Amino acid sequence: MRVFGAGVVVAVLGGVGLVPAAAEGTPGLWYYDNYGVQEAHDSGFTGQGVTIAIIDSPLYREMPALADANITVREPSYCDLSDTPGTRAPATSSNPEEASHGTEMTMFIAGNGDGGAPGVQAPLGVAPDAQINYYAALFRNLDFGPDFSSVADCYRDKKGAFQEALAEAITQAVDDGADIISMSLGAGATRPVVQAVTYALQKGVVLVSGTSNDLVTASGLSTLNGVVTLQAETPAGAIVANSAKVDPAVTVVGPGGDILTLNRSWTSFGTSSGTSMATAITSGFLALVKSKYPEATGNQLLQTLIRNTGSEDHDLFFDPAGYWGYGSVSLQHMLRVDPTQYPDVNPLFDKDFGSPLFEDVFGASAQPTSAAPAGAVTLPDLLLWGGVAVGGLVVVAAVTTVLILRNRRKTTPTTPTTPTTPTTPTTPTTPTTPTTPTTPTTPTTPTTPTEGL
């Protein structure tokens, strides 16, 4: 069931509750400055007591920004060494071409901002005291040229095995006690992946992923029931242009445009955009909510994520145009509301792909609870989803190994000084609501996986 709340469009879309784009602070750290992260930390909510699993590329554990982070790296990785089939590669690497992406995602959650050289600012982590369990399940050859492209996969015995590696990493992360699993990547909805997702959902673990960084709708992992699917938002409160499309799989829109990221080396930074950043940062936001409300279940974290979007209270809302999902992620709003008041039921079992089924996860006797609040206006799924089911299945079948990493839109690299601690953000009286884009035609099913990096 998708819900349309009357009169709340302005309240939940387009960066509501954020300060204007020219906010005080370092360029690329607006996700930290504008969402009240420092205020949350000052109130004692830092992610302590919460375990976040990150599944990504290898990690550069010696990154200065991660020096005091609580990180446990699962060794070895889930992939073979390229020149030694049958021997697993290490899960850590000092090569930026191999480890930059996973290292960045970890900094967004647990980084201390140390750029490794005087005056160099690295990303600040939104949940610095969370326990990070790290799993390397893919490798890639990174091209730092003008197009900034990559080819990613995980090989075993000279055969592509990313789906199996991801499934094993998800299962291991659950067994290791993860509360939240952050996956800034994409994968096909193969049997091993669906089985691993089902297992995680049965254990009440929050799964966070992202839509594609292009105009093709989400596929595979991000279309699975129960999984949070992120779209990326800019500081101006608009969806990142490269990925602005009708996408019924999108759950919410999080900060992912013009974010401070690595630029060619471990001590050089610029800005870039993509759903990878939105995925990691939103995972960290949920950890802050969990640290304030430790009794909240994973399902109740999902409930508060979709109900408390934007800055103001409102009826449950789902964007009828298909761009914003339930609206813009709001850390401040979630922290104001005790999630334990909500049903302990995963509310994301209505995605178009339809797998896994609710009864397959929770048993035939379990009944999903509608997220619709009393008095909300509801419309049949057909009105939202009509005409995309077959196309969605075809796309899922075509995707085998796809990284939904970031589309680099590089600006001049920055070496800012330590940012001024942000003051309480000023909520704009009239938020910027993006103009509804022209509805795209049904995308052509790709024959070759689209790389989003």
270: exposed, middle or buried (Cβ count in 10 Å: 0-12, 13-18, 19+):
buried
Which conformational region is residue 232 in: left (phi greater than 0), alpha (psi within -120 to 50 degrees), or beta? Answer: beta
Which of 239, 249, 247 lies closest to 328, judged by CA? 239
Catalytic residue among 276, 283, 291, 330: 276
pLDDT for residue 218: 82
Q: DSSP readout, 124-172? A: EPSSTTSEEEEEE--EEEE--STT--EEEE-EETTEE-HHHHHHHHHHH
User: Is 265 an annotated catalytic residue?
Assistant: no
Question: Is 449 among the domain residues?
Answer: no
Alpha helices in 68-95 (DSSP H): none
Active site residue 42: no
429 within domain boundaries = no
Q: Does the active-site annotation cover 56?
A: yes
Tokens representing 58? 């290898």
Sign of the torsion angle spanned by Cα atoms 3, 7, 13, 17: negative
Task: Tell me which amino acid residue 40 is.
Answer: A
Fill in the amino acid letter for 403. L
State pTM to two decimals.
0.80
CATH number for the domain harbouring residue 332: 3.40.50.200
Q: Active-site residue among 101, 114, 153, 319?
A: 101
Q: Is 155 a member of any domain? A: yes
Q: Is residue 261 part of a domain?
A: yes
10-residue stretch averages of pLDDT, the chain, 453 residues long: 45 47 68 97 98 97 97 96 88 93 97 95 97 92 46 82 95 98 92 96 97 87 95 96 92 98 92 96 98 98 98 94 96 98 96 88 68 33 23 31 40 37 36 38 35 33
pLDDT score, position 367: 60
CA atoms within a 13 Å half-sphere pointing along the CA-CB vector of 147: 6
Q: Does residue 443 lie within any of the structural domains?
A: no
Residue 175 lies in a domain: yes
Instruction: Provide the domain count of the chain.
Output: 1
Residue 421 is predicted with a pLDDT of: 35
Range of the domain at 87: 29-362
Q: What is the dihedral sign for C-alpha 422, 51, 296, 378?
A: positive
- Looking at the domain assignment, is residue 446 inside a domain? no
Q: What does the pLDDT read at residue 147? A: 47
Does the residue 22 lie in any domain?
no
